[in-house]
Amino acid sequence: MQSDFRAFTDPYSNSVVLSTLDIRRYLAESFTRQLPLHCFPQFLHEATHHWCFNSPVGKALTFLEMLARRTALRALFKGSIDGESQQAVSHDLAGVTLGYGLMRPLAEGMALFCQYDVVPGDAAVVGKPTVLGGILFSGPKAEPEEILSRLPTLFINARLSSSVARSKANLLIQPFDFSDGGYLPGYMLVKAMWHHSLLREPKFLDSEFFLHYLHAYFYNDWDFVALLLDPNRREFALAEYVEKRISDFWEHTPDASGFEFRGLNSIADEFSYKCEHIEFTSFAHPVDGPHVSEHFGKVRMSTILSELFETIPDEQFITECVSMDRATIILRSLMTLGHADFPARVTKNGMLQLFHEDGGFLFSAAAPEDTTRGWEGRLTVDVVVSMAMTGLYLFFTDGHRVVMANPQDKRIHPNTYQIP
């Protein structure tokens, strides 16, 4: 999903590229959670995409594409593609293509609304992009209460630059059509929804809370998941559903107080799946509250995960595909802010040191016990934030393995995530 030059979020893997953040230049600021303010608007845009694609609807689309790829690869591995396999792949890919295509203007509209308009207000709950933005841009000494209190000023100050003004002006003069993702129509739709909702719910004066609610309405929608994963789905069913869902929003009376209460008290909708090859749990906040495990959307998501991971053929090629798919699912909740390699060494005292290309000292931390003392070479550093367990991580790799995973937030347990 393109926002500014070279910035995008891939909906399948949920991987992110931020063109404004040069990690070689700003790695030290990553350590101290003081990323430059000019990166903040683009971060909000791509973090909103990441948030949407990490939802039940976003995961369903990824699982459906995985199944289509697996079916096609298995048929190719056997040396022939029969009619049944062709039909299954076509059906699944049609669902993926239509799902992304129908939702893209809305996804772009929500991301642009967060980038240019959202200002956190008085609501007791906030969305993931806002929380992560506060953590990354508020400085090392900011405690959670301070981060929340600084958010309105942070959002406003980040939009005062001439580059942001030019970026928004460029958006507003784009053609009002869907030829390139529907940026302007999607943005104006979200703005219209917000203004309309203000007539029904004063709590939506908090534009950040409205975006949180809108995300839940469209992307935590288990009925849409059920339709996406329906093996007998009609050709135009997805388009009809999305059209009706948008149309219903105008007549929808939001239960903003109930939504806020459930978020504040962590009353979340849970989906869990477990088999020998993967254990998967996700949480969501549908606007109408948690759904039972027997909901068609959850049943069909369990079914497709069973097809992907329950019975795995002995062929090595398919087994490797399963391993890659498992890694994709595990890593979809992580958002990589930057990736670069640096000169590094391990001292005789067991300290891992990183340096700038000109030899200037950059970073030092205790190296893992199994690291060779006196080693010199290069390490790749990935600066990662987690949507699931909100926090900042640094992963150090040597091209073969993760040398060290270092949580930069003391409130985050270091073993929250393990690279498969």
Q: Which of 21-25, 50-54, 156-160, 217-221 has the lowest mean pLDDT?
A: 21-25
pTM of the model: 0.89
Residue 101, token pair as written in the block: 């295509």
- The percent of residues above 70 in pLDDT, for the chain, comes to 92
Residues 6+ apart with CB under 8 A from 403: 352, 367, 368, 371, 379, 396, 397
Name the more confident of 202 and 6. 202
Beta bridge partners of 381: 340, 396
The phi and psi torsions of 349 (rounded to 5 degrees) equal -90, 5
As a whole number, the mean pLDDT across the chain is 87
406 band by pLDDT with thresholds 50, 70 and 90:
low
Higher-confidence residue: 221 or 84? Answer: 221
Give the tens place of pLDDT for each residue, 248-307: 999 988 999 999 999 989 899 999 999 988 888 989 999 988 888 889 999 999 999 999
The separation between the first and the last C-alpha atoms of the chain, rounded to the nearest angstrom, is 27
Provide the residue count of the chain: 420
